[in-house]
Amino acid sequence: MSTFAERINQFNKELNFKGGLPDGIRIMNPFKDNESIIPISSAFYNKYYSDNNTRHLILGINPGRFGAGLTGIPFTDPKRLVENCQIAYNGIVTHEPSSVFVYEVIKEFGGESEFYNKLYINSVCPLGFTEISEKGKEVNYNYYDSKSLTNAVYEFMIQNIEKQIAIGVQTDICFCFGTGKNEKFLLEINNKYGFFKKIIALEHPRFIMQYKSKSKQVYINKYIQAFSQIL
């Protein structure tokens, strides 16, 4: 029987979107765009998921350029990958606020091994998107930022939530990062497809770090309290 890690690694290797996208939107697939990502992400998953334990799923929005876009691991930027997980990384070392918050939650939870033994993080859309801003810079773009993009990747998202469940996650509770549009969309598709019995939404780490940083500990406590429901 394959391990949880082997199933995740295979899922990542097979991630590929072949449909059309709205004008000006580029899909970001780190597993295809950078040949070093599969070895890096595989090292991470082999370290924390080489067993057949089931986990509870956390679904974010979609990967960002400076976190999973560089490591292949949701909410894990290169700095956290090296310093917290002790995984070798030779690329650009970036700092993503969302990753900072998540790893503070992980520390409060009991550390990386304890956290990843219970939880598996991915996204409603496991591949990210970018566009060129008015200033000519490439910036992140979310699957829900335009109806045309949501429609273009709808079936892709549904199929990949099903695949992630098949990796070996519990379906009694799913955690959602994002209490706005991500929660709304996830609830809508869950009502239609019945993926999970219950969805618990938490404020998105980026929102907390950008707008509520002075109350960060309040949100860390809220996360820990929510996760206590699966212990």
Three-state secondary structure along 28-60?
ECHHHHCCCHHHHHHHHHHHHHCCCCCEEEEEE
Give the CATH number, domain containing residue 177: 3.40.470.10
The structural domain count of the chain equals: 1
Q: Which domain holds residue 167?
A: 4-230
Determine the longest span between alpha carbons in the chain, in angstroms. Answer: 51
- pLDDT tier at 66 (50, 70, 90 boundaries)? confident
The predicted-structure confidence for 141-162, as pLDDT tens digits, reads as follows: 999 999 999 999 999 999 999 9
pTM score, two decimals?
0.97
Calculated CA dihedral for residues 113, 117, 121, 126, nearest 10 degrees: 110
β-strand partners of 58: 121, 175
Instruction: Tell me which residue of 86, 89, 87, 83 sits closest to 34, measured CA to CA.
Output: 89
